[in-house]
Amino acid sequence: MNHLTDWSDLPNAVWRACLDRALGHRQRPAWTRSAAGKALGLVFFNPSLRTRASMDLAAAHLGAHPVTLTPGSGMWGLETRDGVTMDGAAAEHVKEAFGVLSRYVDALGVRTFATLTDHDADHEDRAFQAAVDASTVPVVNLESARWHPCQALADAAAVTETLGQTRGRKLVLHWAPHPKPLPRAVPNSALLMAARLGMEVVVARPEGFDLDDDVLDLARQTAARTGGSVTCSADRDAALAGAHVVYAKAWAGRAVYDAPATEARQRHAHADWTVTADTMARTDRAAFMHCLPVRRGVVVDGEVLDGDRAIHLLQAEYRLHAQKAVLEWVWSLLPSDAHAGSVRQPVRA
């Protein structure tokens, strides 16, 4: 089955074909009947705006019928852990829930956030994996504890459209302050996305906010194959110099699992990492990216978001086109010329 947990699990040809197809969908938007007779189940354990709306519409654009469910709100609360006595709030286990849904639909999309309390469960992506194990149809990751592949594909398309040539261009994955700790799925996937595009990637973050070593190692291995590079720096000025893209994202420090009060103090101590117009002036007229939702005045100033270099809304638009491509791959509907390499003219010189 064509499961999509993360792009690193799949051949590069699949990634390239889906990226080209996403770019093509934006050039030639159309409603089709290519997936007529298909049903898509969408299960959101966590809140969503872009993922929910774009995935719903992606299915409809292809002629498929989406069914969206939210555990604990309009349906039973679901248990994902194995071997537990279910005497709490969850009335149904994913083994039964996804076993049933697999008999109704032709693919499932599942969204499960990180706990930020159980490191091993998050690192092993146990909640999402439980859904995959219980399903007998393909499962698409709509954001798990570790990865957000749909966001990554949309980001890659937005960067490609904006820059044209991505190899050798510099992307800064910029840690940002936030009132609460946030998961690492988006920064993990953004890092791998830029490495796949052959970019010079710098993870700019304060001390204590490193991404996991295995994710960094995977990104470096990917960059070695694509002609890119991956480095980390706590020196924002040095990181931003010559950047063509600044991707801002808040994420929790490793201490959130063992010492959450310490992590909170560390996070609040770096409120000066907000992305401002002055921050962007240190770059080579960089495009600004954020996956959304974004807190204005905390993560980034409104002046940056409202400026002509911000492409966060283009990223969000590409969620629809990227997810159409993902569903076409899941259902083996990609046309034979999907990997044609067609790219729009770059917005940025």
Low-confidence ranges of the chain (pLDDT < 70): 337-349
pLDDT for res 348: 32
Q: Which residues pair with residue 246 across a beta bridge? A: 172, 288
Alpha carbon 30 to its chain's center: 24
pLDDT for res 340: 40
**Alpha-carbon gap, residue 165 to 267, rounded angstroms:** 35
pLDDT for res 347: 36
pLDDT for res 54: 98
What values do phi and psi take at 114, rounded to 5? -70, 150
pLDDT for res 338: 55
User: CA angle 162-167-168, nearest 5°?
Assistant: 105
3-state secondary structure (DSSP) of residue 229: strand
Tally the residues of the chain. Answer: 349
Does pTM top 0.85 for this prediction? yes
